[in-house]
A and B are shown apart, each in its own frame.
Chain A
């Protein structure tokens, strides 16, 4: 069991709409990263949150935004959806304050299709 749960598993949206994807991390995981994985490519870093503050951002426009909550859950919001936003969105989390032993735990992702 991964300890990181993402919802929904699949989603279809129309171009121009807004979407919210959710990630529930295991207790104590105060650091969460979000990635976009296009078909046939490796995950691309979107941003990271640590203790509810953004802690680094990749090369993604401002219409990609996030939130992290005290209960170790987080959200990825995407506004003004474009066809190229179709991808698998992954979250990964860890307990940053603990010794780095097992790395980040990834969820199974949300498959977003924009039509």
Chain B
């Protein structure tokens, strides 16, 4: 089955700096890669996703890149703000339709210091 590894497990940055979280996956059949943000006491919330036919996707301060050959994808957050502090999870599934059966990484706890 699929295995997703996520690094780093914790990340601390100063407000305004950039943050990068990296994930690798093992199953070449994976083609859909969502990223989730989980705040304390809440369930994960989808913040951005990327499909295998796209190398990069941006949404305001958030961007995701995908290298399908190397089987890795990354989340980039620019101009970080204290409200970006949360646990971030990457995930992988064969298709968007199968996103409900995703394999998740173990999460990165991001702390943005004011």
- A: residues with CB less than 8 A from B are 2, 4, 31-33, 40-45, 48, 56, 58-59, 90, 92, 94, 96, 100, 102-104, 106-109
Contact = CB atoms under 8 A, between A and B. Distances in A.
Contacts of B46: 102-104
Nearest to A32: B100
B101 interface: yes
Contacts of A109: 43
Interface of B: 1, 4, 6, 34, 36, 41-46, 49, 89, 91, 96-107
A100 B102 CA distance: 15
A104 B100 contact: yes
A59 B100 CA distance: 15
A96 B97 contact: yes
Nearest 5 Cβ contacts at the A-B interface = A106-B43, A42-B104, A33-B100, A103-B46, A100-B96
